[in-house]
Chains A and B, each alone.
Chain A
Amino acid sequence: MSVEQPRANLTPEELASRIENRATFNARQRGQLPKVFWTEQDPLERVKNIREVPFAYTPVHARAEAVRCLSCKNEPCVTGCPVAVDVPGFLKLVAEGDFRGAIRRIKETNLLPAICGRVCPQESQCQENCMVAKVHKDLGFAVSIGKIEAFLADWEREDGVELPTVGAPSGFRVAIIGAGPSGLTCAGDLRRYGHDAVVFEAFHKAGGVLVYGIPEFRLPKDIVAAEVDNLAKMGVAFEFDTVVGQTLSVDDLFDEGFDAVYVATGAGLPYFVNVPGEDLNGVYSANEYLTRANLMGAFRFPEEDTPVLRRDNVAVLGGGNVAMDAARTALRLGAKNVYLVYRRSREEMPARLEEVHHAEEEGVQFRLLNAPVEILPTPDGWVRALKVQRCELGESDEKGRRRPVPIEGAYEELPVEIVIEAIGNGPNPLIPKTTAGLTTTRHGTLVVDEATMMTTRKGVFAGGDIVAGASTVILAMGHGRKAASAIDAYLRRKASEPAPVS
């Protein structure tokens, strides 16, 4: 499996001719058309800034790439998408040059394409079963659905965003807890149905993981701000600094006149590996490290007041997207050696291929099949080194990933001053703990009816990571959309019921 290799590979003439002759290709010829690659910031340059890594497609590149779509009857790309975006439909419109039509088509099912185009794991969703990749026997040659989606959303932001039509006022009010991808999607859809939507957010800014977790170089924050602004224009209200469960309870929300509640509080509880030395100075959860760097602006310290430690040698524990984000952030904060310490092999890494590839290109040193054993201190209590033990792969676990088995005596010390733990997050316990009538699983996630996303308490719905555990942005959005539709049905049913006798 190879990653999509960025390089400008076609001349302007070749691109123009492909677009002009697009109607003349048969399926076989289409399948053989070379992929249109994009360019990226040079790895050695980009670690000195926090700007986005890939340069966007131009209109010509996007059109020429879209011509490669075979418009398969069985639409494996649509099946692979958690919100079933009409991929062949929008690609056809892009090939025609009808960008407005294409973005409208995407937005029928996905409200936040600028974000999904950048952070979805396309290689395990829409692009995984792309027939063009099968023709080339290489996943790297799938149609670049994600890059085209991001292009379209950026084009729309330049050309003028069409806001979805807001429904006639229903008189119902819905409280959404958490301004992350799930809450934002739900709020937008609720406005389309005509309900009032008020989003309560603990932080001082909307976006959730999109602003505190995912770094600028992967998802520029002005894009998130623009999406939030669009929701505000649709009439979504935001209340910041409100920690539901503390500032207000779910019961208070009903008392204040809300007719339904959507809980989208995310997976905000960082796990630690639980090895000796985790209380030393210089040990971070990835949540803390990334929140300081992104949301709190520590990249700009001392212009902004929140600091984050900058040291030469950094170890990041984990193999997911968050681990890649933390490692690449450490490079941009000036680290000379960044080790990514992962217990299993490359195959088992849950991160997006593109992130793994970018991290390697930028010089992150992968220490695969290395399990952290202990964080070793200096005499005054700072991190001096990370002790790791080499592993080999044993039997598969219940998820089908092969288990790492430590090799006796195979220890090594990595000299580092910072250790960042990115081994996952649990669901935030604040709402389950403070709200009567909610049932949780043994993992602490909320139990919901999968068809409606309603929790075990009437009128309280939930979605995103508080239900799915640590998952993806697109799945969280899918939950938000499903819940909005179910909340709409619930409210309309409620409206038709006779008023209770009090």
Chain B
Amino acid sequence: MFKIIDKKPLGENVTLYEVEAPRVARRHRAGQFVMVRPHADSERIPLTVADVDRKRGTIILVVQSVGKTTFEMSEAFAQGDCFSNVAGPLGNPTHVAIPDRAPNFRGTVACVAGGIGAAPMLPIARAFRNAGHEVVTILGARRKDLLVFEDRLRAASSEILVCTDDGSYGRKGFVTDVLKDVIETRRAAGSDVHLAVAIGPPLMMKFCSKTTLPYAVPTLVSLNTIMVDGTGMCGGCRVMVNGVAKYVCVDGPEFDGHRVDFDGMMRRQAMYKQEEAESLARYREGA
């Protein structure tokens, strides 16, 4: 059993959980995820780890409630309760280096986080910064109250730029607008953005990848697809990358954004839309 040490709301339908999982905490590196099964009748869902406290043996998960399982996590579990299962860390850690450059090359990394993508971005931004790279974080959300982890990301970055779709906080506009500006400003000044990392909703990652493509800025995206085991056994998470089926759980979760078939991925994400709606409606009736 995995005890919930702390639980707090971060915004509308977004919850932070600090969960006791000493083995995961000890091994986790930036970019990796866990499979969580909240109780004995639950699904197993993949959740990217936002932070770890090795001394306390805990991991931080930031979860947006979208379906039955995630609403149940936020409504039926309190601080001191336990999740039945937390397995991990899974997937490959982020390769903390600039692609196609010498290992000792230090450059500028644009960390583009959309919505709760801010949480899994934190360890990645920190890892690049600790390795000596300049980290420019671009944090965006639809509205001010949907922004999470601004302070933590600010502390982990060389510079942070915040935007909202409706202009309720920071610059008005999309993260892609800011990303484009950052690349152009750097280039005009004779420097560059050497790598972009985008984490957030699939559409946001798709458009970030589209934005960087004409500038030939290498772009990593972190995918979160439907999984059952998370260890390469089922293949449910497969996504087409450069025309070849890849398993997000064991080949990813990070891929070259310029080569991911985002449309196919989004279509597969909606495979159980009907069942998910049924499950949530049933939960709401019972609750």
Contact = CB atoms under 8 A, between A and B. Distances in A.
Nearest to B39: A305
Contact of A281 (B229, B232, B267): B267
A268 B235 CA distance: 10
A296 B228 contact: yes
Contacts of A288: 228, 234-236
Contacts of A269: 232-233
Consensus secondary structure, chain B interface: mixed
Contacts of A246: 27, 88-90, 231
A281 B282 CA distance: 24
Contacts of B133: none
Interface in B1-37: 23-24, 27, 37
Contacts of B234: 270, 285, 287-288, 291
A285 B232 CA distance: 11
Nearest to A295: B228
A307 B42 CA distance: 11
For the side of the interface on A, what is the size category?
A: 35 or more
A54 interface: no
Given A202-B229, A279-B240, A281-B271, A305 B43 contact: yes
B275 A428 contact: no
A279 B278 CA distance: 25
B231 A428 contact: yes
A305 B68 contact: yes
Nearest to A304: B41
Interface residues of B, number: 43
A287 B231 CA distance: 12
A302 B261 CA distance: 31
A242 interface: yes
B89 to A, nearest CB: 6
Nearest to B85: A204
B84 to A, nearest CB: 7
Given A246-B27, A279-B264, A304-B41, A285 B235 contact: yes
A339 B2 CA distance: 43
Nearest to B32: A246
Most chain-A CB neighbours within 10 Å: which of B234, B236, B268? B234
Given A247-B23, A269-B232, 5 more contacts: A202-B229, A268-B229, A270-B233, A291-B233, A380-B267
Interface of B: 23-24, 27, 37, 41-44, 68-69, 84-90, 228-236, 238-240, 245, 250, 261, 264, 267-268, 270-272, 275-276, 278-279, 282
Interface of A: 202-204, 212, 240-243, 246-248, 268-270, 272, 278-279, 281-282, 284-285, 287-288, 291-292, 296-297, 301-307, 309, 380-381, 428-430
